[in-house]
Amino acid sequence: MTKLDVGGEIVSPPRRGPRVSPRLAWVAVAPFAVWAAARLTGADRVGGAAVALMTGTPYVAAASLVAVLVALAARRPAVIAVAAAASVLLAAVVLPRAAGSAPTATGPTLRILTVNLFFGAGDAATVVDLVRELRPDVLTTQELTPEAVGALDAAGLGRLLPYRHLEDGPGPSGSGIYARHPLTEAPGFTPEGGHNMPAARLALPSGPPVEIVDVHTLAPLSNGDVAQWTAELAALPAASPGVVRVLAGDFNASLDHADLRAVLGRGYADAADATGDGLTATWPANRRHPPLITIDHVLYDERASAVRTGVHPVPGSDHRALFAELRLPGRP
């Protein structure tokens, strides 16, 4: 390295880090800019692969920091600005899920446990142990087969949650609501061609009536399935003044899907998002790798509050069970 003699003192020129070509920097930055724009504009509504890809937004947000470093190495203001903007925008939609908010409702507590039983194969004894441990007022189940109903009863679920409204069925079609307090069947929500989605009104010892909707939308795996999935999310009932409504189950959607955000826009909040657990993945469970995406949710009337949430493994199921403790609205 050449050294310079300045005023009798030998100094070395300042060292600079490796430089990246502007073209390579744009190649690295452009995908993150496109992703951020797609997420903000709800471009996943076009269907196809965009629906599946959008669930990866939290990982893309983390990876966008690498693109910022590449842009800095290119030393071009334009590419640096685009990289920084994309990273900030992605962080803005993802990081609040890990922050949570303080509950404000003052009414009675409602505890909900929801689990997809994976064609009825989820271990019944584990589910019943979770009910004993967490003491939910309501258990919503998806992919509830007649055999799974028998296994849950044999494991003692009926003694813990004696009230039920079941629409069990073969394969992934069945669902069912179990409760600690009396249930009154509500108008069913079973879109043609989709899974059963029973609804029931729960009579708590105190507090307002609560309507529970057991959600299981069709997985958006093909273009036809995406259309059905979109229609099912759009048809979920909005919050209404006369009843506190809770939607709990397997939505096959993450908070990065525009269609699920539209459901939230009809008067709901996401329990895990509200407690700071919104980045805790629920699927696929019981694999060699940890769960990757968050598609199981408890959505509650925004007049209520979420106090705590948690996920729990269930052997035999490809979903983690999701628990949420809510605080219902107090008396006006």
Q: What is the CATH number of the domain that holds 152?
A: 3.60.10.10
**What total of structural domains would you count in the chain?**
2
In this structure, are 178 and 272 located in the same domain?
yes
Residue 5 within any structural domain of the chain = no
The secondary structure of the chain in percent helix, strand, coil, rounded to multiples of 5, reads 35, 25, 40
Residue 209 sits in the same domain as residue 285: yes
Instruction: Find tokens 């979770």 and name the residue.
Output: 130
Q: Same structural domain for residues 243 and 294?
A: yes
Per-residue pLDDT tens over the stretch 166-182 = 999 999 999 999 999 99
Q: Among the three residues 98, 129, 145, which one is the final residue of a domain in this structure?
A: 98
Please report whether residue 304 resides in a domain: yes
pLDDT of 192 reads 77
Q: What is the mean pLDDT of the chain?
A: 93
| Final residue in a domain of this structure, among 48, 69, 98 | 98
Q: At what angle do helices 146-154 and 124-134 cross, to 10 degrees?
A: 50
The string of pLDDT tens digits covering residues 282-307 is: 999 999 999 999 999 999 999 999 99
Distance CA 33, CA 64 (A): 9
Strand pairing category for 183-185 and 175-179: unpaired
Interhelix angle 22-41/57-74, rounded to 10 degrees, is 150
Residue range 9-61, pLDDT digits in tens: 555 555 555 688 999 999 999 999 999 999 999 999 988 889 999 999 999 99
Residue 1 above 70 pLDDT?
Answer: no
Query: In the listed set 98, 129, 161, which residue is the last one of a domain according to the structure?
Result: 98
Contact predicate 203/179, CB 8 Å: no
Structural domain range at position 57? 22-98
Residues 72 and 209 both lie in one domain: no
How many Cβ atoms from other residues are within 10 Å of residue 194's Cβ?
Answer: 18
Q: Model's pTM, two decimal places?
A: 0.92
- Do 188 and 40 have their domain in common? no
